[in-house]
Amino acid sequence: METLLAIVIGLLYAAGVYLLLRRSIVKLILGIMFFSHATNLLIFVAGGLHKGQPQFATDGINAVSANPTDPLPQALILTAIVIGFGITAFFLALMYRFYQATGTEDLDELKEGENK
Amino acid sequence: MTGILIYLIILLITAFLSPILISKGGKTAPWLLGMVSAAGFAWLLGFTGYISEGNSLNYTIEWLPELYLNFSLYLDGLSLFFALLVTGMGALVLVFSGNYMKPYAMKHRFFFLILLFEFAMLGMVLSGNLFTMFIFWELTSVSSFLLVGFNHEKPEARNAALQALLITVAGGLAMMAGFIMLGQMAGTLEINQLLKSGDIIRNHPHYLPALLLVLAGAFTKSAQFPFHFWLPGAMQAPSPVSAYLHSATMVKAGIYLLMRLSPVMGGTPEWKYILTITGAITMILGGYFAYSQTDFKKVLAYTTISALGTLVLMLGIDTDISIKAAIIFLLVHALYKGALFMIAGLIDKSVGSRDLRKIGGLNKVMPVASLAAIISLLSMAGLPPMIGFIGKELIYEAKFALPDIGNLLLVAGVMTNIIMVAISLALIFNLFLGPLKYPGERPTRPAFALRVGPSLLAGISLIFGLFPATVADFLLSPAIKSIRPSIDSFKLSLWHGFNEVLLVSFITVAAGVVLFLLYRKINPMLTHLNTEVITFRFADAFNKGLNVFLYLTKRKTSFIQSGYQRFYLMAIFIMTSVLAWYQLIYTWPEIESISFSRPGMFEMIILLLIVSSTIIAVLIRSRLAAILSLGAVGYGIGLLFIVYGAIDVAITLMLAETLVLVLFMVVIYHLPKFTNFSSKASRLRDAAVALLVGGFMTGLVLKAGQLNLNPKISDFYVENAIPLAHGSNIVNVILVDFRALDTLGEITVLVIAAIGVVALLKLKTKKGSAT
């Protein structure tokens, strides 16, 4: 399962990179979202995969042996998801303004506009 | 010694006050500034008694002693000699400039710069730490740059200034590297301690590179071949600058450095050969070019180069007599060349030209200045009873005393001196004596302020020539002793008796007279030769090299800085993944056997969903389908989180994903449809880059699974969730309790993003809405 997940993560990153290298700003944002998905999954897999029960502390003493799933990566991912959401929302608004101001979604025209 | 520091500070303050003084103070202001300089001269003169007894003074303010960096001042015979030169010449030049600079609108700036230079130069020669010296050294380069480019409306002046700056600063940078090496060898940069560690440095394996670097600094500053060409260019500066910086003081900074470090680095075969050869070439080359010029200032510039070559040659010969000769010749040269440059400025001002072919017989309009000029030129020619004669005799003597290559050097020296005699005679008889000639209106008698400097210098040349023993005792002996302590007695006299040196002097003068008689015939030929036949110019070659460098830099910049955001990203992706791939492959065998859990049916379906949605999102032309596929990817990942027990994460992810989809839907209808901008080739290239990155991430995950992460942090949270935080959902407890501040930060980010979104959407475009 880890091997398969590793390949999927690689694929998600590859999709992100490919979309980031497009000239269209919409695809750029799609690429960023792929990146954040891939990274979340990466952290999750790196923490170790353990099927089944969610992580709950039952009692102070023998909690560790009872719940082998590592809670720390999950906490990290939670933070990452929220931040990623904030960034995406901001980017969407920025993209909207960008298109309104320039009338194009082609990022290459940014440079040509600079030279005019 | 603190007095010297205070004087330096006073000089700096004076420099900053001088613009106000000059623009408000009227005629007396330059005299006042000259007085400040002269006061320093007089005060320093008071040290001569103490210093000539063999004492030295040292003053240190520690700055970074671990790196040997201190602000130190050091006064011994050599630095006192130079300090007197700097302040004395400074006083005369300031007075001279007061009149000379009158028509210039920017004269207050000029006085600021020249005082700043005086401060830097004085600090340089008084530095007791090589790093202090370096800072002052560079400050002289900068003030020289600003002074050469003073007439900045003229492109030639700007070019010459830039050239002088680039060459001297490049040399200075090399010199700094040399200083650092010296510091590492000797464990100190303090001059008084370096002087004692000469043996360590000369026997150190890094001696040669350090020597070459230091020499690069000295040779560029003192205009040695092949860096000599900046000095004639620097003649674009106003004449007082040429007199002060480019003949009497700044160009001697390199010589000062060589003298200062002569006990530390000198005496080795490397030192001797490099200095003698460079000095000899510079000496002859300068002489030749001086003879073939028609601009008075250019003649003086090239004779200066020749003189600097002679000084380097003398230091390279490195015998007792040659050191003596170097010190006395340095004084001789400063005296006559400073006077002559001022006279060149004076002529330029009252006649309106410096062309030797158009001016003549100036003694009829300016008798005093002409007399001073003639005396100075006699000193330059090395004729008795001038101090120049003594200097030249000593130089000959030093060359005579050499065993093997001495004869060759003697021939070179005699040739150079023949040229000097010829030039001096030509200037005396054509420019100052003979029939009166001038290009424009009849020249006027120069003002007193213009005459006083050159007259004083010429007078000193004559007095020192007549009474050489006095100057030798109180000024030259201490300077020589600080270069070479073994020399104890030092007698100078005008008359040495009949010997082979005197014979050579006679030959020199005789040949010089012949060359002078041929001057009118040869000079046009040589001018023709220099301008028409030999078209190679060092300055042009330098400019060309500079242009090529700039062109290549531009090409390089426009290649790297394409201006397209995706190429920057691509560069980052490729660089990072290539490096990471290298690391992955390099460390791969260390991974032990991996035991993987077998995937179940349910997980397989989720993975399939993610993979197919990803491919659709990347390839599909419809925006809506792409966004929905991306949503499917997100939900798929959420399902995976559920399977592996991360229920909070899954809830958050699904929520966020839904919100993003909604937002995207809102925005997307205001945007155009996907257009295909890229060609097939570029899409293939991007795909290759993407696979490179994706592959390395896969490898990274596989490797990360094998690492033994320290579980202690997580264990702490698990064990203490209930006792400390009173919650059993560990993930939640971490977020809202243990790492609550992090979560606060996260919320802040969200708020900022929200404000940004509102601002962006509410903001009205100034040109009006595009949609």
End-of-domain residue from the set B454, B487, B517? B517
**Least confident span in B75-84, B90-99, B571-580, B760-769:** B760-769
pLDDT at B118: 93
Q: Tell me: do B249 and B310 sit in the same domain.
A: no
More confident residue, B92 or B522: B92
> Is the alpha carbon torsion for B731, B737, B740, B746 positive or negative?
positive
Q: How far is B643 from chain A (nearest CA, A)?
A: 6
Q: How far apart are CA B751 and CA B533, in angstroms?
A: 77
Q: Does the beta-carbon distance from B729 to A55 stay under 8 Å?
A: yes
* Structure confidence at residue B83 as a pLDDT band (50, 70, 90): very high
Q: Does the beta-carbon distance from A54 to B599 stay under 8 Å?
A: no
Supply the angle between the helices A71-102 and B647-668 in degrees, to the nearest 10: 0
Rg (CA), chain B: 38
Compare all CA atoms of chain B with the CA of A71 and give the residue at the minimum distance: B731
Q: Does the beta-carbon distance from A33 to B749 stay under 8 Å?
A: no
Number of domains in chain B: 2
Q: Which residues of A touch B662 (CB under 8 A)?
A: none
Compare all CA atoms of chain B with the CA of A91 and give the residue at the minimum distance: B757
Q: Does the beta-carbon distance from B671 to A95 stay under 8 Å?
A: yes
pLDDT exceeds 90 at position B399: no
Nearest beta carbon to residue B618 from set A19, A33, A58: A19
Compare all CA atoms of chain B with the CA of A2 and give the residue at the minimum distance: B596
Q: Tell me: do B239 and B370 sit in the same domain.
A: no
φ, ψ for residue B437, nearest 5 deg: -135, 140
Q: How far is B686 from chain A (nearest CA, A)?
A: 6
Bridge partners, B75 (sequence order): B57
Distances (CA, A) of B111 to B30, B90, B370: 8, 11, 27
Q: Looking at the domain assignment, is residue B665 inside a domain?
A: no
Q: How far apart are CA B93 and CA B87, in angstroms?
A: 10
pLDDT at B770: 43
End-of-domain residue from the set B482, B517, B552? B517
Q: Which residues of A touch B696 (CB under 8 A)?
A: 10
Q: Does the beta-carbon distance from A85 to B656 stay under 8 Å?
A: yes
pLDDT in tens, B691-742: 999 998 888 888 776 665 666 777 788 788 888 888 888 888 888 888 889 8
SS3 helix, strand, coil % of chain A, rounded to 5?
A: 75, 5, 25
More confident residue, B174 or B557: B174
Compare all CA atoms of chain B with the CA of A56 and give the residue at the minimum distance: B729
Cβ A81 vs Cβ A33: under 8 Å? no
Token code pair at residue B513:
């007279």
Compare all CA atoms of chain B with the CA of A102 and give the residue at the minimum distance: B770
Q: Does the beta-carbon distance from A71 to B719 stay under 8 Å?
A: no
pLDDT at A116: 42
Q: Tell me: do B135 and B54 sit in the same domain.
A: yes
Q: Looking at the domain assignment, is residue B656 inside a domain?
A: no
Q: Looking at the domain assignment, is residue B498 inside a domain?
A: yes
Q: What percent of chain B has pLDDT over 70?
A: 94
Maximum average pLDDT range among B61-70, B129-138, B677-686: B129-138
pLDDT at B731: 84
Q: Does the beta-carbon distance from A44 to B641 stay under 8 Å?
A: yes
Q: Tell me: do B206 and B285 sit in the same domain.
A: no
Q: Looking at the domain assignment, is residue B29 inside a domain?
A: yes
Q: Looking at the domain assignment, is residue B324 inside a domain?
A: yes
Q: Looking at the domain assignment, is residue B121 inside a domain?
A: yes
Q: What percent of chain B has pLDDT over 90?
A: 27
Q: Which residues have C-beta within 8 Å of that of residue B755, sequence separation ≥ 6?
A: none
pLDDT exceeds 80 at position B471: no
pLDDT exceeds 50 at position B356: yes
Chain B contacts in chain A segment 30-89 (CB below 8 A): 30, 33-34, 37-38, 40-42, 44-60, 63-64, 67, 69-72, 74-75, 77-79, 81-89
Q: Tell me: do B228 and B295 sit in the same domain.
A: no
Q: How far is B556 from chain A (nearest CA, A)?
A: 18
Q: Does the beta-carbon distance from A30 to B630 stay under 8 Å?
A: yes
The CA-to-CA distance between both ends of chain B, in Å, stands at 77
Cβ A111 vs Cβ B563: under 8 Å? yes
Q: Does the beta-carbon distance from B705 to A11 stay under 8 Å?
A: no
Q: Does the beta-carbon distance from A81 to B656 stay under 8 Å?
A: yes
Distances (CA, A) of B431 to B362, B370, B677: 6, 9, 76
Q: Which residues of B touch A33 (CB under 8 A)?
A: 630, 634, 660
Q: Tell me: do B189 and B286 sit in the same domain.
A: no
| For range B586-592, the mean pLDDT | 64
SS3 B450: helix
* Structure confidence at residue B771 as a pLDDT band (50, 70, 90): very low
Compare all CA atoms of chain B with the CA of A108 and give the residue at the minimum distance: B564
pLDDT exceeds 80 at position B327: yes
* Structure confidence at residue A72 as a pLDDT band (50, 70, 90): confident
SS3 B295: strand
Mutate to test the interface with B, among A27, A56, A61, A94 (most CBs of B within 10 A): A56
Q: Does the beta-carbon distance from A13 to B594 stay under 8 Å?
A: no
**Least confident span in B2-11, B435-444, B488-497, B695-704:** B488-497
DSSP string, B621-665: S-HHHHHHHHHHHHHHHHHHHHHTT-HHHHHHHHHHHHHHHHHHH
Does A99 lie at the interface with B, CB-CB under 8 angstroms? Answer: yes
User: Any idea which residue has 């002793």 for tokens?
Assistant: B481
Q: How far is B695 from chain A (nearest CA, A)?
A: 6
Q: Does the beta-carbon distance from A79 to B746 stay under 8 Å?
A: yes
Q: Tell me: do B168 and B51 sit in the same domain.
A: yes
Nearest beta carbon to residue B645 from set A15, A55, A59: A55
pLDDT at B63: 87
Q: Tell me: do B211 and B333 sit in the same domain.
A: no
Nearest beta carbon to residue A57 from set B607, B722, B757: B722
Q: Which residues of A touch B626 (CB under 8 A)?
A: 30
pLDDT exceeds 60 at position B659: yes
Residue type, B272: K
| For range B231-254, the mean pLDDT | 87
ipTM of the complex: 0.90
Q: Tell me: do B262 and B272 sit in the same domain.
A: no
Q: How far apart are CA A11 and CA B728, in angstroms?
A: 36
Distances (CA, A) of B97 to A38, B139, B144, B253, B453: 74, 21, 16, 22, 10
Q: How far apart are CA B695 and CA B701, in angstroms?
A: 10
Q: How far is B618 from chain A (nearest CA, A)?
A: 6
Q: How far apart are CA B553 and CA B547, in angstroms?
A: 10
pLDDT in tens, B189-234: 898 888 888 888 889 899 999 999 999 999 999 989 888 888 888 8
**Domain with B346 in it:** 267-517
**Least confident span in B272-276, B353-357, B701-705:** B701-705
More confident residue, B302 or B718: B302
Q: How far apart are CA B29 and CA B21, in angstroms?
A: 6
pLDDT exceeds 80 at position B490: no
pLDDT exceeds 80 at position B144: yes
Q: Looking at the domain assignment, is residue B389 inside a domain?
A: yes
Q: Tell me: do B417 and B466 sit in the same domain.
A: yes
**Least confident span in A60-64, B407-411, B682-686:** A60-64
End-of-domain residue from the set B218, B241, B266? B266
pLDDT in tens, B33-54: 899 999 999 999 888 888 888 7
Nearest beta carbon to residue A45 from set B660, B701, B709: B701
Instruction: Give chain B's mean pLDDT.
Output: 85
pLDDT at A64: 47
Q: Does the beta-carbon distance from A5 to B618 stay under 8 Å?
A: no
* Structure confidence at residue B290 as a pLDDT band (50, 70, 90): confident
Q: Which residues of A touch B677 (CB under 8 A)?
A: 22-24, 106, 108
Rg (CA), chain A: 20
DSSP string, A41-67: HHHHHHT----S---B---SSSHHHH-
| For range B177-187, the mean pLDDT | 91
| For range B578-593, the mean pLDDT | 75
Name the H helices within B293-439: 296-317, 320-351, 367-381, 387-400, 406-426
pLDDT at B568: 87
CB pairs under 8 A between A and B: 297
Q: Tell me: do B288 and B243 sit in the same domain.
A: no
* Structure confidence at residue B588 as a pLDDT band (50, 70, 90): low
Q: Looking at the domain assignment, is residue B504 inside a domain?
A: yes
SS3 B675: coil
Q: Does the beta-carbon distance from B671 to A106 stay under 8 Å?
A: no
Q: How far apart are CA B241 and CA B253, in angstroms?
A: 15
pLDDT at B311: 92
pLDDT exceeds 60 at position A63: no
pLDDT exceeds 50 at position B768: no
Q: Tell me: do B320 and B256 sit in the same domain.
A: no
Domain layout of chain A by residue ranges? 2-115
Token code pair at residue A29:
């944002």
> Is the alpha carbon torsion for B407, B411, B412, B417 positive or negative?
positive
Nearest beta carbon to residue B644 from set A9, A49, A111: A49
Nearest beta carbon to residue A12 from set B614, B675, B735: B614
* Structure confidence at residue B620 as a pLDDT band (50, 70, 90): confident
Distance, CA of B159 to chain centre:
16
pLDDT exceeds 50 at position B769: no
Q: Does the beta-carbon distance from A56 to B730 stay under 8 Å?
A: yes
The CA-to-CA distance between both ends of chain A, in Å, stands at 54
**Least confident span in B236-245, B267-276, B314-323, B671-680:** B671-680
pLDDT at B173: 94
Q: How far is A12 from chain B (nearest CA, A)?
A: 7
Q: How far is A113 from chain B (nearest CA, A)?
A: 11
Compare all CA atoms of chain A with the CA of B759 and give the residue at the minimum distance: A93
pLDDT in tens, B534-548: 667 777 888 888 889
Q: How far is B102 from chain A (nearest CA, A)?
A: 47
pLDDT at B174: 94
CA angle A68, B649, B749 (to 5 degrees): 125
Task: Tell me the fold of A2-115.
Answer: Helix Hairpins (1.10.287)
Q: Is B355 left (phi over 0), alpha (psi -120 to 50) or beta?
A: beta
Cβ B141 vs Cβ B172: under 8 Å? yes
Q: How far is A19 from chain B (nearest CA, A)?
A: 7
Mutate to test the interface with A, among B598, B633, B718, B739 (most CBs of A within 10 A): B718
